[in-house]
Amino acid sequence: MDGAAEELERRSKFLNSLIQKKKSTQQQDHNRRPNVRVRASDMPLVLQDRAFRCARDHLDSMPAKLDSKRLAAALKKEFDFSYGPAWHCIVGTSFGSYVTHSLGGFLYFSIDKVYILLFRTAVEPLD
């Protein structure tokens, strides 16, 4: 019986160490991620998450200086390709805007000090 108790204690310590390692890794990942904050939205959460991931990926791939035009183009292309045409994107550290958008197609968010406005407008086919 004494051997079984020791084995149980050993396994318990091992599992606790794995849990602590996982928590530590998750905390490090969270600390490395840019701070995402939704400022205003009329967009489903799935599309919001896609925008956040796309913006993060492109920001991480950029050198130290922000290339707002490149980021805006990448987000626009991604959303045009995935969700149909007429997406627009504005990226910067300071800008004003007043836009009309399609229902469910508006997201204004920030990652650290970069502000991103992504919105969709209706497209009317020419006769």
Q: Residue 24's pLDDT is what?
A: 74
Q: Is the pLDDT of residue 95 over 60?
A: yes
Instruction: Give the number of C-alpha atoms closer than 13 A to the C-alpha of residue 5, restricted to the C-beta side.
Output: 2
Q: What is the pTM of this model?
A: 0.71
The CA-CA-CA angle for residues 84, 88, 90, to 5°, reads 150
Domain ranges of the chain: 1-32, 34-121
Q: Residue 31's pLDDT is what?
A: 46
**pLDDT tens digits, 73-87:** 999 999 999 999 999
**pLDDT tens digits, 7-46:** 888 888 888 888 887 777 666 555 455 589 999 999 999 9
**Contact present, 121 and 100 (Cβ < 8 Å):** yes
- CATH architecture of the domain covering 34-121: 2-Layer Sandwich (3.30)
Tell me the residue type at 21: K
Q: Residue 96's pLDDT is what?
A: 92
Tokens 């939205």 correspond to 41
Mean pLDDT over the full length of the chain: 88
